[in-house]
Amino acid sequence: MCLSVHIFNAIYFYSIGLTPLVVLNIGSSCLYVLFLTLFRKNSDLQIVFAYFEIIIFSFFSEVVAGGHFSYVNFIIGMVAVVFFLLPFRNKKKHIYQFIGVVSAIGVSQITVFEYSMFPEYLPIVLEHKVFISCLNLIITLFTLFYVSNLYLVELNEARAKLDYSSNHDVLTGLYNRRFFEGIMKRSKEENENAFSVAMVDVDDFKHINDTYGHEAGDKVLERVSHLLADVLPKNAIAVRWGGEEFVLYLPMMSVDSARGVLENFITRLRESSVIYRNQEIRISATIGVCTGDSISEYENYIRQADEKLYWGKKHGKNQIVS
């Protein structure tokens, strides 16, 4: 954007015969091209360069124009822009802003005293000062509008990521225990004819971690979570409860219907495997499932499902216990 403004200025000032500003804008354009070529991957450095280039450019432009072109608006606008665009970790932002404020005060003094390095160009300056001043104000306002909206977009994205991470397990992408307990507590007044709760535990998970490493264990958990997401109905909720355990909430579903869904899941799980460092890791799981009719008692149903899961672990694993 800055480069485009300089190119436009060079053409415009050439057309009206304001030679010093033509030279100044051509020089700035060349600096931008050179800098963007050498440091195109360092966005923070580009912002800092543009900031100080605008301050220096505005100072010399007003010295040429006797303070009549309102380039001080550029500096004032950039004081806010540099704060928005530079990352929070940059501790020099406030120093940059202070330099910008002092520079804006200094450039404004040129306007007060109407000092011009080239008084012979003042007739041209006075003839075009209204148009150029208004144009500079529009550019500044547009820049502030664009950057503030960009900042809001980034803020909303960061907030969405924070909301997601607070409600989901980072590894598996499933809901986390805190989120599940929160929605169940908020729904305690609701009653349903029937719903099922299942507790899923990956078989021999400690052995997988000890044999292949925790990275392999993570891949197993990812595969289990992906299969759960594939087989569960849309209104069901899958939760990573902790470690290798998952809780499934299946609304409006009897234990027989839930078993049908879970049989599909456990069959697909048996048929799948994880390849880790050229080694095949077979996966199975044990599931305990029970049916309830009162959300306010969900903790009790989870406890029952956990007891059935424990029984299944003691009697062969790789099965569904209802």
Asked if residue 148 and residue 11 are part of one domain, the reply reads yes
Asked if residue 226 and residue 109 are part of one domain, the reply reads no
Tens digits of residue pLDDT in 156-213: 888 888 888 888 998 999 999 988 988 887 766 555 567 899 999 999 999 999 999 9
Asked if residue 187 and residue 134 are part of one domain, the reply reads no
Asked if residue 33 belongs to a domain, the reply is yes
Which one from 244, 245, 280, 307 is the annotated catalytic residue?
244
Provide DSSP, 283-303: --EEEEEEEEEEGGGHHHHHH
State the pLDDT at residue 197: 93
State the pLDDT at residue 157: 86
Locate tokens 């499902």: which residue? 305
Regarding pTM above 0.85, the answer is no
Asked if residue 151 and residue 17 are part of one domain, the reply reads yes
Domain boundary among 137, 165, 193: 165
Q: How far apart are CA 243 and CA 310, in angstroms?
A: 15
Domain boundary among 100, 135, 165: 165
State the pLDDT at residue 111: 84
State the pLDDT at residue 214: 93
Asked if residue 180 and residue 160 are part of one domain, the reply reads no
Which ranges of the chain have pLDDT less than 70? Answer: 187-193
- Residue 279, strand partner residues: 276
Asked if residue 170 belongs to a domain, the reply is no
- Let me know if 244 is a catalytic residue: yes
Asked if residue 47 belongs to a domain, the reply is yes
Asked if residue 158 belongs to a domain, the reply is yes
Asked if residue 60 belongs to a domain, the reply is yes
Asked if residue 235 and residue 130 are part of one domain, the reply reads no
Q: Among positive and negative, which fits the CA dihedral 234, 240, 241, 246?
A: positive
CA angle 88, 89, 92 (to 5 degrees): 90
Q: How far apart are CA 275 and CA 205, in angstroms?
A: 15
Asked if residue 261 belongs to a domain, the reply is yes
State the pLDDT at residue 193: 62
Asked if residue 196 and residue 100 are part of one domain, the reply reads no
Asked if residue 142 and residue 187 are part of one domain, the reply reads no
The total of other beta-carbon atoms located within 10 Å of residue 138's CB is 11
Asked if residue 224 and residue 152 are part of one domain, the reply reads no
Closest by Cα among 164, 190, 303 to 241: 303
Asked if residue 189 belongs to a domain, the reply is yes
Asked if residue 131 and residue 25 are part of one domain, the reply reads yes
Evaluate whether 119 touches 59 at the Cβ level (below 8 Å).
no
- Residue 280, strand partner residues: 275
Reduce the DSSP state of residue 96 to 3 states and report it: helix
State the pLDDT at residue 38: 82
Asked if residue 310 and residue 280 are part of one domain, the reply reads yes
State the pLDDT at residue 275: 92
State the pLDDT at residue 81: 84
CATH number of the structural domain spanning residue 206: 3.30.70.270
Q: Please give the residue range of the domain that contains residue 16.
A: 2-165
Asked if residue 157 and residue 187 are part of one domain, the reply reads no
When divided into structural domains, the chain yields a total of 2
Tens digits of residue pLDDT in 13-41: 999 999 999 999 999 999 988 888 888 77
State the pLDDT at residue 188: 62
State the pLDDT at residue 17: 93
Amino acid at 247: V
Domain boundary among 165, 188, 205: 165
The token pair that represents 166 in the structure block = 């607070």
State the pLDDT at residue 265: 95
